[in-house]
Structure 1
């Protein structure tokens, strides 16, 4: 991961005299979308490695990897979020992001595949825009909002909502 670029410092809001704690986020790419998760969920970022498939696994579960002697499930986040394109294509930039999700007392470890991992930057929640409204009903519970990274929109994922809400991996498994 690299240090924050000058353009990414635009994620920090101008202070109006009130001190507000900036949070750190990990930015990464899924297909054509730049996403961010709070670093408190990120355990580590790994180079892409072979993922062992699991028989009869739900479509979102790619397989399992070994992380320091522990089997960690790898979820296809693009499929889980119903993103189109680029599935199962790996490049030299492809990374596996190991995440901790859920309440502090029952945290679970999962991994996702990112097409590229950009950097860790600080952001101030005041610069975040609400999810867009466009006249149709859609479930935006998977995201905190939108920001900007250089000239691209940045989707702030609510990773707990993605995996611990109605879209929970266990629920997907039972439905498959």
Structure 2
């Protein structure tokens, strides 16, 4: 029975499970997306999210903690150099799991796990649509722009009035 057991053991002993998750995390950091079973993807998500959070602050202590989990210096270097820069402003949720259907041989649920900021398909749609700005308050720049535009707008009708006054005397003289 699994009373009080909080995570999926994936049918493996502790050392095998830790080694497998470390290898999968290194592959995810290197390739930015991997295909695996749904259960492994969910376990990997819980394993890799705290590691990415640690990489946001580049200190020797954080590098050593991450290296103790991943055990691959090239993955640690790429994580702190490239991935941490992209996810620096994100408060969490660094990975996305997309279900792919069932595997042909044993009918296992398959999934693709990917780093969110590296998917160009979703990020292009978000960046092309601008957020609608609200008109709750005005900043100084906006008020200065309207102040500059307002006198020009007033001068233009005044010029039209002068032109119409010039026309009226000419028509009255004739």
| TM-score class normalised by the smaller sequence | under 0.3
Bigger-Rg structure (1/2): 2
Question: TM-score by structure 1 length?
Answer: 0.25
**Bigger relative contact order, structure 1 or 2 (CA pairs below 8 A, ≥6 apart):** 1
Higher helix share: 2
Higher strand share: 1
Question: TM-score by structure 2 length?
Answer: 0.25
